[in-house]
Amino acid sequence: MMELPGLVPVVKGNGYGFGVHRLAGGAGRLGADVIAVGSVAEAKVALREFDGDVVVMMPFFNADAAAVEIMEDSRVIVTVAHLPELARLAEGPAHPRVLVEVRTSMQRHGITLDDLPKVAGFLDRVDFAGWTIHLPMPAGDSNLEEATHIGTAARMAAKAPLWFSHVSVDDHNRLREIFGPDVRLRRGTDLWLGDPGALTVTATVLDVHKVVRGQRVGYHRKSVPANGWVVVVSGGTANGIGLEAPSTNRSMRDRAKTMALGMLDAAGRALSPFEVAGEKRAFVEPPHMQSSLVFLPANAIPPAIGDEVPVTVRNTIATFDEIVYI
């Protein structure tokens, strides 16, 4: 927080693999005054673990009873992305803290630039906390042009803090020069997962069985391709193993990476994310709920029960059995 004034830690989904509760507590220890969550359900968790303000980023709807209830908490700031919803809030007895979302080229949520002048008439009847501007991932390395354009339009409609998402630290600093210190930057991935070396993910070897070529194993009685071992490792569908998150495929390089990780070995079997005896090994069959069967050929040295082996997971879809700080 000290190094990046205006930073708002984002704590949502599976808490980037760590759990919303853990990150909410962690954000407090980092000195954050406000954090952002995705949903109302996450806000409830965050409010228990964090003493400051909590922004709910999904759009607010008056018909959502849980959202209306949590909005009454003085530490909660809701995000309004539709004019009729803002109008209803302004008419109501509550005086909720609201961010108003402005539509960007991303076309997810938000009030269009054309409609911004209509917003101003409602703002004195809510506790207006600012504008939120969620940009797409920068096409080059900068979103400054669109951020400045939309920020300027919003500031013309009402002078209030600007809360950006998906601008670089350089752009954030630049935006603070342009618009002043009331500029905030919401960040999750880079904050929690920015240093790949800080995190090691492993699976535990639960069992190792010697098998011969053609022997049938597993739920589906698949025959093993050669002599070797079936290694049973911890981690299955419940942990997010074997589930592929959609790839954005933004570049050829990304695409190549997806294909390389995606998963067939030389014999055409599905490659698992588990690295046993120095290499990613093929699944014997699709992962089970909490463990997976992988095949280790006879020329490799089998691990021992209890060994930890590296596993490649995507944090935002992973559920870890245990998180150990070292």
Among 74, 105, 112, 189, binds ligand PLP (CB under 6 A): 189
Give the E-state strand segments of 155-200 in sequence order. Answer: 162-165, 183-187
How far is residue 127 from each of residues 35, 76, 168, 286, measured CA to CA in Å?
A: 18, 11, 29, 52
Concatenate the DSSP letters of all residues of 248-268 into one string. ---SHHHHHHHHHHT-B-TTS
Decide whether 108 or 209 has the Cβ nearer to ligand PLP: 108
- Select the span of 25-33, 88-96, 187-195, 255-263 touching ligand PLP (CB under 6 A): 187-195
Q: Does 112 bind ligand PLP (CB under 6 A)?
A: no
Asked if residues 52 and 25 have their Cβ atoms less than 8 Å apart, the reply is no
Which residue of 27, 57, 175, 205 would you call a contact of ligand PLP, by CB under 6 A? 57
Contact 155, 127 (CB under 8 A): no
Nearest to 102 by CA among 88, 118, 126, 121: 118
Cβ distance to ligand PLP smaller for residue 132 or 234: 132
Residue whose CB is less far from ligand PLP, 12 or 155: 12
Closest to ligand PLP by CB, 211 vs 318, is 318
Q: Residue 172, interface with ligand PLP (CB under 6 A)?
A: no
* Shortest CB 96 distance to ligand PLP, Å: 19
Nearer to ligand PLP, 52 or 286 (CB): 52
Cα torsion for 190, 192, 193, 198, to the nearest 10°? 130
10 binds ligand PLP per the rule CB under 6 A: yes
What is the DSSP annotation of 188-208? SHHHHHS-GGG---EEEEEEE
User: Contacting ligand PLP (CB under 6 A), which of 82, 103, 134, 269?
Assistant: 134
From 81-89, 180-188, 201-209, 281-289, span contacting ligand PLP (CB under 6 A): 180-188
Q: Which residues bind ligand PLP (CB under 6 A)?
A: 10, 12, 57, 134, 165, 186-190
